[in-house]
Amino acid sequence: VVLVSPRNPLNIGAAARAMANFGFEHLHVAAPFAPNWREARSAIGAPELLHAAQESATLAEAVADCTLVVGSGTLTYRRPEQPVVALPALGALVEREIARGGRVALVFGSEKHGLTREDLSHCHCLVEIPTDSRQPSMNLGQAVAVCLYELAARSGAEEQGRESAACAQQGAAPGNASGGVLERLAEVVETVMAAADYSPSAMQQANRHDLRLLLRRLAIRERDARRMMGLFRSILFRLQHGSGEEK
């Protein structure tokens, strides 16, 4: 990631944090404003990669060893001279370049005016973040976060898949209640309904049917079904034997 003349130390810190969040390491700052850059680096909690960042006087030096240089920005106010890539397509592009042994730079301009025409002349292409035309201009730290998320989400897809699978498995672990458990639950609920005068006897046939459908629609887990049964049995006991609150 290359930041060109970033102004706000908070934004520099935010960009570095986003890099750490998504597993990126190499930060390069071109033509920084010395005091702001110092302030950003000395901030409490600044990630390690901010201290290890490289610094250069010009963007040209910063991207000297890169084989693919991608500028970022909104295109609302100007006609780009380079090919434009929509952000969702950037991952494939970067992956291909790295697979063939190249180095990729993702370049962000200053908060005030973004990348200049001169800056863009160092870029092979432009990535466009698909923002709303009424408010196209993103905060620097947020733009970095969104771009790196997109790149990380693609390259980390395999790893995530594994994690999500583990989570899904965890969620499914208790297992749905069996038909038998649901049937016993339905019986108890029905008895409670009758005891509470909720279900006039003429309606019981229809209610039993609806109740069964409902219990299955709910995809109740075994454990939850047992708890529900416990509750309805307590209710039934109270209804039949009276509770302390009755008159």
Distance between CA atoms of 219 and 242, rounded to whole angstroms?
33
Stretch that binds a second copy, among 26-34, 92-100, 180-188, 218-226 (CB under 8 A): 218-226
CB half-sphere exposure, 52, CA atoms < 13 A: 11
Instruction: Count other C-beta atoms under 10 Å from residue 34's C-beta.
Output: 8
Q: What is the Cα Rg of the chain in Å?
A: 30
> Is there binding between residue 91 and a second copy (CB under 8 A)?
no
φ, ψ for residue 68, nearest 5 deg: -140, 120
User: Of the two residues 34 and 112, which places its CB atom closer to a second copy in the complex?
Assistant: 112
> Is there binding between residue 224 and a second copy (CB under 8 A)?
yes
CB 84 within 8 A of CB 125: yes
Distance between CA atoms of 152 and 158, rounded to whole angstroms?
11
> Is there binding between residue 21 and a second copy (CB under 8 A)?
yes
> Is there binding between residue 178 and a second copy (CB under 8 A)?
no
User: Of the two residues 98 and 229, which places its CB atom closer to a second copy in the complex?
Assistant: 229
The two structure tokens encoding residue 139: 């905060």
Q: Which of 60, 92, 165, 206 binds a second copy (CB under 8 A)?
A: 165
Q: How far is the CB of 56 from a second copy (least distance, A)?
A: 25
**By CB under 8 A, how many residues form the interface with a second copy?**
84
> Is there binding between residue 203 and a second copy (CB under 8 A)?
no
Q: Nearest to residue 190, comparing CAs of 229, 217, 222, 216? A: 229
Q: Which of 99, 100, 135, 202 binds a second copy (CB under 8 A)?
A: 135
Q: How far is the CB of 157 from a second copy (least distance, A)?
A: 7
The two structure tokens encoding residue 130: 């698909």
Residue 75 CA from chain centroid, whole number:
25
> Is there binding between residue 132 and a second copy (CB under 8 A)?
yes
Extended strands (E) in 47-113: 54-56, 68-73, 84-86, 104-108
User: Of the two residues 57 and 165, which places its CB atom closer to a second copy in the complex?
Assistant: 165
Q: How far is the CB of 58 from a second copy (least distance, A)?
A: 26
> Is there binding between residue 231 and a second copy (CB under 8 A)?
yes
> Is there binding between residue 43 and a second copy (CB under 8 A)?
no
Stretch that binds a second copy, among 31-39, 92-100, 133-141, 177-185 (CB under 8 A): 133-141
> Is there binding between residue 171 and a second copy (CB under 8 A)?
yes
φ, ψ for residue 77, nearest 5 deg: -100, -5
> Is there binding between residue 90 and a second copy (CB under 8 A)?
no
